[in-house]
């Protein structure tokens, strides 16, 4: 089969032929990939940022946002059958550890993360586990929802964690209305009655935010902090930073009012806050990593209801580096989706 393979850090991946995976365990599921999302994490992987954390052995296949159709199942699989359209939770989990038993799949003690620490879904087929497959409703198609498997799931997870902090009239600031942020805005509108202000460097992204329903938009610049604090009446109750680098970390903290919370969703930068500022203002800094299987099921419900929609551009598998160039240069609005197979 064709697959996008990373052979060396700091060098772009290549498309090459590799053996097709086969079912070998009773709970395994083989999925024909209909859409594989391109994420900024894939750029960071190529840069080597994940090398120490993932421990992956090169070469391997990229792709951690995947949806498609079940091709084959192990002997003990009962939740899906060949032909079913599915979206894949990004982790393959054991189901036996305390985290799994609590429904906290993302912190499974024995997990595998295809596309991060093992072969992923930028390929014609991906081998996963029965616990990771979620059957799609008839109105949803793999290519349209693939990026919800990570980008959407991460955005939804962060918003759901923020919901108890967002009372009527609360101000929420969204930094970045790109691939993650445009989903986060829709989740906020679906789950809260917050006053939403969106900050971005791109006029196109701000126009998209307005079309989605954001109440205020601000072009990022030297006066961003003062302008946004004025809109929020002194500062935000919650800041959701979908960028997490290039200065948004300091900006996000500066936008908070007292006793407010800064949610780190995007990454690549560093947070440097004097501890006296943390305690004197009693602010919270909250990390977010993907989400649970139940979060993904909730998100698919919102997608089926039309309350969360992805803005995407599709590319054939062979155009992986064109897609990466578009993402890296800021030409890609929403999410890029690689399409190895169509039906």
d(CA 172, CA 166): 8
Q: With bands split at pLDDT 50, 70 and 90, how would you rate the model's confidence at 333?
A: confident
- What is the predicted pLDDT for the residue at 330? 86
204-249 pLDDT tens trace: 999 999 999 999 999 999 999 999 999 999 999 999 999 999 999 9
Average pLDDT value for residue range 130-146: 97
Range in 119-128, 181-190, 328-337 with the lowest mean pLDDT: 328-337
pLDDT of 275 higher than 90 = yes
Q: With bands split at pLDDT 50, 70 and 90, how would you rate the model's confidence at 199?
A: very high
CB atoms within 10 A of CB 272: 8
Query: In the structure encoding, which two tokens stand for residue 147, read together?
Result: 């990026």
Close Cβ partners of 100 (under 8 Å, ≥ 6 residues apart)? 93, 94, 108
Instruction: Give the end-to-end CA distance of the chain in Å, rounded to a whole number.
Output: 17
Residues present in the chain in total: 343
Side by side, the strands of the sheet bearing 14-17 are 14-17, 2-6, 60-61
Average pLDDT value for residue range 106-117: 96
Burial class (CB in 10 A: 0-12, 13-18, 19+), 250: middle
d(CA 24, CA 74): 7
Task: With H, G, I as helix, E, B as strand and everything else as coil, classify residue 188.
Answer: helix
d(CA 30, CA 28): 7
pLDDT of 179 higher than 90 = no
pLDDT of 337 higher than 90 = yes
Domains, the chain, ranges and CATH?
Answer: 2-145+310-339 (3.90.180.10), 153-287 (3.40.50.720)
- What is the predicted pLDDT for the residue at 16? 97
Secondary structure, 3-state, 168-186: CCCEEEEECCCCCHHHHHH
pLDDT of 341 higher than 90 = no
Q: With bands split at pLDDT 50, 70 and 90, how would you rate the model's confidence at 334?
A: confident
Average pLDDT value for residue range 41-58: 94
Q: Which of 154, 118, 173, 140 is nearest to 266 (CA)?
A: 154
């Amino acid at each position: 089969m064709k697959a996008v393979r990373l052979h060396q850090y700091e060098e772009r991946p290549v498309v090459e032929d590799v053996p097709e995976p086969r079912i070998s365990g009773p709970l395994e599921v083989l999925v024909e990939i209909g859409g594989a999302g391109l994420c900024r994490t894939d750029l960071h992987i190529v840069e080597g940022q994940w090398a120490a954390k993932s421990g992956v052995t090169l070469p391997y296949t990229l792709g951690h946002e995947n949806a498609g159709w079940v091709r084959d199942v192990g002997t003990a699989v009962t939740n899906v059958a060949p032909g079913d359209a599915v979206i894949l939770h990004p982790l393959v989990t054991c189901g036996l550890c305390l985290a799994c038993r609590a429904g906290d799949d993302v912190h499974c003690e024995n997990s595998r993360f295809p596309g991060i620490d093992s072969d992923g879904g930028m390929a014609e087929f991906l081998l996963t586990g029965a616990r990771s497959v979620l059957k799609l409703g008839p109105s949803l198609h793999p290519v349209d929802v693939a990026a919800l498997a990570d980008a959407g799931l991460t955005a939804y997870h962060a918003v759901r964690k923020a919901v108890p902090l967002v009372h009527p009239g609360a101000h929420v600031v969204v930094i970045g209305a790109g691939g993650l942020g445009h989903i986060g805005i829709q989740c906020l509108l679906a789950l809260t009655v917050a006053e939403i202000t969106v900050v971005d460097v791109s006029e196109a992204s701000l126009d998209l935010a307005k079309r989605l329903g954001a109440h205020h938009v601000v072009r990022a610049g030297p006066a961003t902090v003062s302008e946004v604090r004025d809109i929020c009446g002194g500062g935000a109750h919650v800041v959701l930073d979908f960028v997490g680098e290039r200065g948004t970390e300091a900006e996000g903290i500066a936008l908070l009012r007292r006793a407010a919370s800064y949610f780190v969703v995007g990454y690549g930068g560093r947070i440097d806050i004097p501890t006296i500022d943390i305690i004197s203002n009693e602010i919270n800094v909250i990390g977010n990593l993907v989400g649970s299987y139940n979060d993904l099921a909730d998100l698919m419900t919102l997608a089926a209801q039309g309350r969360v929609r992805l803005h995407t551009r599709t590319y054939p598998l062979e155009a992986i580096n064109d897609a990466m160039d578009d993402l890296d240069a800021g030409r890609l609005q929403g999410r890029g989706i690689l399409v190895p197979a169509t039906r």
